Amino acid sequence: MELFIKSLSMKGFSKHKQEAVYEFKRNNEVWGENEEGKSTIGDAIAWGFLNSDLNGVERSISHLKNLSSKYTIVKINYSIDDKEYELIRKSGYANDNGLFVDGTKTTTEKLLAEQFNCDKDLFLCLLNPNYFFSFTPKKSREFLNKYFKKIPKSEIMKEFSDYEIEILTKEKFNFNNPNISLAEKRDDISELEKDLIYTDGMIDSIDLSSIDNSTEKLKDETKLEKQINKLKSAIESILSRNLHTDISINEDEDVNEKKKLEIEIARTEAEKFIDTDQEKLNKLTSEYKNIRNEYKNVPIEKPMLENINILQNNVINLKNQYKELGNKINKINKNKTQCPKCGFLFLSTNEQILNELLNSLETIKNNGLTANHQLEEAINNNEKQKKKYIQEVNEYRKLKENEGKQISKQICHLQQITIKKEKAFQNNKNNKLAQLRNQIMLLDTKISAKEQAKAKEIKKIKEQNQNKTIELKNKLAQLEMELNQIQKYNNQIMLNQKLAKENKDKIARLKKKKEDTNNRICSLKLTIDIIKRFISAKVKLQSSFIKKHLNKAEIIFEKISKTSGEVKDVFEIHYEDKHLNMLSNSTRIRTGIEIRNMLSAISNLNLPMLIDNAESITHFDRPNCQLFQLIVKKDQPLSIISA
Q: Is 610 within 8 Å of 623 (Cβ atoms)?
A: no
Residue of 239 and 347 predicted with greater confidence: 239
Average pLDDT over residues 469-493: 84
Q: Which domains does the chain have, with CATH numbers?
A: 3-135+600-642 (3.40.50.300)
Whole-number pLDDT of residue 608: 96
Measuring CA to CA, which residue among 588, 239, 278 is closest to residue 411?
278
Burial class (CB in 10 A: 0-12, 13-18, 19+), 637: exposed
DSSP state of 151: P
Band of pLDDT at residue 599, cut at 50, 70 and 90: very high
Q: What is the DSSP string of 178-193?
A: HHHHHHHHHHHHHHHH
Query: What separation in angstroms does the CA of 526 have from each of 34, 169, 176, 536, 631?
Result: 64, 13, 20, 16, 60
Whether pLDDT at 208 is above 70: no
- Report residue 463's pLDDT band, with 50, 70 and 90 as the boundaries: confident
Cα–Cα distance measured from residue 156 to residue 530, given in angstroms and rounded to the nearest whole number: 12
337 Cα distance to chain centroid: 104
| 3-state secondary structure (DSSP) of residue 79 | strand
Q: Which of the listed ranges 38-47, 75-84, 301-310 does the model predict with the highest average pLDDT?
A: 75-84
Please report which confidence band the pLDDT of residue 211 belongs to, taking 50, 70 and 90 as the band edges: low
User: Where is pLDDT greater, at 78 or 483?
Assistant: 78
- Whole-angstrom distance, CA of residue 607 vs CA of residue 610: 10
Q: Which residues pair with 604 in a beta bridge?
A: none
For residues 84 and 46, the answer to whether their CB atoms sit within 8 Å is no
Q: How many CB atoms lie within 10 A of CB 150?
A: 10
Do β-strands 27-32 and 627-632 pair in parallel, antiparallel, or remain unpaired?
A: parallel
Distance, in Å, from the CA atom of 624 to the CA atom of 607, rounded to the nearest integer, reads 10
pLDDT, average across residues 13-31: 88
Provide, rounded to the nearest whole percent, the portion of the chain with pLDDT above 90: 21
Q: What integer pLDDT is reported at residue 336 of this predicted model?
A: 58
The winner for highest mean pLDDT among 24-33, 149-158, 220-229, 335-344 is 24-33
Q: What is the largest CA-CA distance in the chain?
A: 175
How sure is the predictor about 486, in pLDDT bands with cuts at 50, 70 and 90? confident
In the predicted model, is pLDDT for residue 348 greater than 60? no
- CA dist 426 and 394 (Å) reads 48
**CA 231 – CA 501 distance, rounded (Å):** 39
Taking phi first (over 0 means left), then psi (-120 to 50 degrees means alpha), and beta for anything else, what does residue 98 get?
left
Label residue 100 exposed, middle or buried (CB < 10 Å: 0-12, 13-18, 19+).
Answer: middle
Whole-angstrom Cα distance, residue 637 to residue 34? 9
What integer pLDDT is reported at residue 212 of this predicted model?
57
Q: Sort residue 15 into left (φ over 0), alpha (ψ -120 to 50) or beta.
A: left
Query: Are 164 and 532 a contacting pair, CB within 8 Å?
Result: no
pTM over 0.75: no
pLDDT, position 536: 77
Question: Cα–Cα distance between 119 and 610 in angstroms, integer?
Answer: 18
Q: What's the one-letter identity of residue 326?
A: G
Distance from C-alpha of 208 to C-alpha of 557, rounded to nearest angstrom: 59
Torsion of CA 316, 317, 318, 323, to 10 degrees: 90
- What is the C-alpha to C-alpha distance for residues 484 and 500, in angstroms, rounded to an integer? 24
Beta pairing class for 27-32 and 20-23: unpaired
How does the average pLDDT of the chain come out, rounded? 84
State the average pLDDT over residues 300-328. Answer: 86
197 has pLDDT over 60: yes
11 CB neighbour count, 10 Å cutoff: 19
Which pLDDT does position 171 carry in this prediction? 85
Centroid of chain to Cα 278: 82
- Cα distance between residue 143 and residue 147, in whole Å: 7
Q: How far is CA 275 from CA 408, 418, 427, 575, in A?
A: 19, 7, 16, 144
605 pLDDT more than 90: yes
Contacts of residue 343, defined as CB under 8 A and 6 or more positions apart, other chains included, come to none
Cα–Cα distance for residue pair 371/393, rounded to 1 Å: 33
Please give the average per-residue pLDDT across 392-399, as a whole number.
84
pLDDT of residue 111 exceeding 90 = yes
Beta-bridge partners for 87:
76, 101
pLDDT at residue 376, rounded to an integer: 86
Bridging pattern class, strands 567-575 and 578-579:
antiparallel
- Strand pairing report for 27-32 and 639-642: antiparallel
**C-alpha–C-alpha distance, residues 525 and 531, integer Å:** 10
pLDDT at 582: 92
Q: What confidence tens digit (pLDDT) does each residue in 362-380 have?
A: 898 888 888 888 888 888 8
Nearest Cα residue to 627 out of 598, 597, 599: 597
**Is residue 43 helix, strand or coil?**
helix
Backbone angles phi, psi at 338, to 5 degrees: -95, 135
Residue 611: strand, helix, or coil:
strand
| Residues 626/45, Cβ–Cβ less than 8 Å | no
pLDDT tens profile 272-293: 877 777 788 888 888 888 888 8
What is residue 9's three-state secondary structure? strand
Q: How confident is the model at residue 245 (pLDDT cuts 50, 70, 90)?
A: low
399-409 average pLDDT score: 84
Instruction: Indicate the residue type of 341.
Output: K
What is the predicted pLDDT for the residue at 343? 55
- Gyration radius (Cα) of the chain, Å: 70
245 Cα distance to chain centroid: 73
> Is the Cβ–Cβ distance between 99 and 89 less than 8 Å?
yes
Give CA separation, 131 vs 54, 127, 348, 592, in Å.
Answer: 7, 8, 129, 8
Segment 136-141 mean pLDDT: 87
